Amino acid sequence: MAEVLRAAAAVWVRVRDGQSLDRALQDQALKHEVAAPIRAAVHAVSHDALRHCALIEALLPRLIARAPAPQVTGLLAAALSQLIVGAYRDHALVDQAVAAARSDRHLSAAAGFVNAVLRSFLRRRAVLVPQLLLDDATRLNVPRWWLQRVRREHPEHWERALACAVQPPALLLRVNRRRCDVDAYLARLRSEAVTARRVGPYAVRLDRPCPVQQIPGFTEGVVSVQDAGAQLAAPWLQADDGMRVLDACAAPGGKTGHLAELSDARIDAIELDPARAGLITDNLQRLGLAAPRIRILTADARDVASFWDGHPYQRMLVDAPCTASGIVRRHPDIPWLRREADVAQLTTLQAGLLDALWPLLAPAGRLLYVVCSVFREEADQQADSFLERHPDARLAPLPGTRHGWLQLLPTGADPVEPGQTVGLPTEHDGFFFALFEKV
């Protein structure tokens, strides 16, 4: 456990310095800083620490008089997270944290300090933790500006929406209908003693998460890992065989793959980052869907001259860069990497994408705008602004709703009207969808 705590401490430092959690963990693996057998444990502890980041950062000033070196703070954060979740016996965990300090030349001088701080926490935990959790931002593990924005924009649902983000996510799969149907896949899981249930038209929830390579049918392309909310995008675009479809900002290719599963449309998948564009290829090959009808183009979707051949598209999927405020339970680092000013900057980027791509859409064509956000500036306010700028655009009803846009808050909160929703998944992250039609 000492090695796990030491590695998780390094991840904490990198994330609090501005690196994403996924990148910090990937860098450790690529640089062989962490032995393969303990990577899953490092992943778990790092996620636990960030899911309790607000509480940990509220605790530390009450346990220590002066902030220590970042590496020491990281070790304390990793250890405190495990004491908070109760994953190990208290004193055994403290001993392992001290051992982690002693085994690292950068931390060895602080071993006694680490021991004293953690034992102080154990003595004061019963009083300190309940007091600190009276603060909503601490309890719901978000910066204060984030809490205030969600509370203001979703006054009836804010608490349930934010509380969902503190919980570890379920493992949700999308069944590839070209290979299997949901009932047949559930039968396969039962035959392999894997308990699961259906939560959407193509969505299956595994009761016990596992590494992707151990998911039955994953390597042969029977299923993909994708949130049930994200699985709404491809069917709602309603692309038919032979249609020209643009999938903008397509990496890592989950929605591209779903579009290709649902029809024989001709798809142009655009991605700015060459490395991430490669993930789209890998995904399609795994699904058995790599074909001449699907082109993967490395380009900035706003620079249409760099990829467009002059022929209009009948359908467009614009899964735009956003704050990712709707997927915090899968990425608990997001609230701590974002600044409030990022919302306006990303809103400007989203508007630029929509304005650049709209002229490429054929008359009567449809564009589905998607963000994994719960912030209204990126959602319905963005949709309203787009309609004001483009008089040749109107909202087309989303399947199962009365209106052309829908805000899904993370599971545990109700869909936000307008829209009498029908056939929505029973478990999902936070997403906004708006379906525009060119008139």
Instruction: Compute the Cα dihedral for 148, 150, 155, 160 and give only its sign.
Output: negative
β-strands 266-271, 294-298 pairing: parallel
The secondary structure of 147-174 as a DSSP string is HHHHHHH-TTTHHHHHHHHHSPPPEEEE
pLDDT tens, 212-257?
989 999 999 999 999 999 999 999 999 999 999 999 999 999 999 9
| 414 phi, psi to nearest 5 deg | -80, 155
How far apart (Å, rounded) are the C-alpha atoms in residues 390 and 160?
35
Q: In what order do the strands lie in the sheet with 203-206?
A: 196-198, 203-206, 171-175, 223-225
Please provide the CATH number assigned to the domain covering 230-438: 3.40.50.150
pLDDT of 417 over the 50 cut: no
Q: Residue 344 belongs to what H/E stretch?
A: helix 340-357
Which 8-state DSSP code applies to residue 63?
H
> Which residues 6+ apart lie within 8 Å of 120 measured at CB?
63
Cα–Cα–Cα angle for 203, 378, 305, rounded to 5 degrees: 90
Which 8-state DSSP code applies to residue 416?
B
Which 8-state DSSP code applies to residue 104?
S
Cis peptide before 235 (omega within 30 of 0): no
The CATH class of 2-134 is: mainly alpha
Average pLDDT over residues 183-208: 93
Residues noted as catalytic: 372
> Per mean pLDDT, which range of 58-67, 209-218, 234-243, 423-432 is the poorest?
423-432
In this prediction, residue 424 carries a pLDDT of: 67
β-strands 361-371, 393-395 pairing: unpaired
Taking the CA of residue 290 as centre, how many other CA atoms within 13 Å lie in the half-sphere pointing to its CB? 11
pLDDT band at residue 29 using 50, 70 and 90 as cut-offs: confident
Please provide the CATH number assigned to the domain covering 171-225: 3.30.70.1170
Do the beta carbons of residue 395 and residue 437 sit within 8 Å? yes
Residue 238 DSSP SS3: coil
Residue 146 DSSP SS3: helix
Q: Where are the domains of the chain?
A: 2-134, 171-225, 230-438
The overall average pLDDT reported for the chain is 93
pLDDT band at residue 423 using 50, 70 and 90 as cut-offs: low
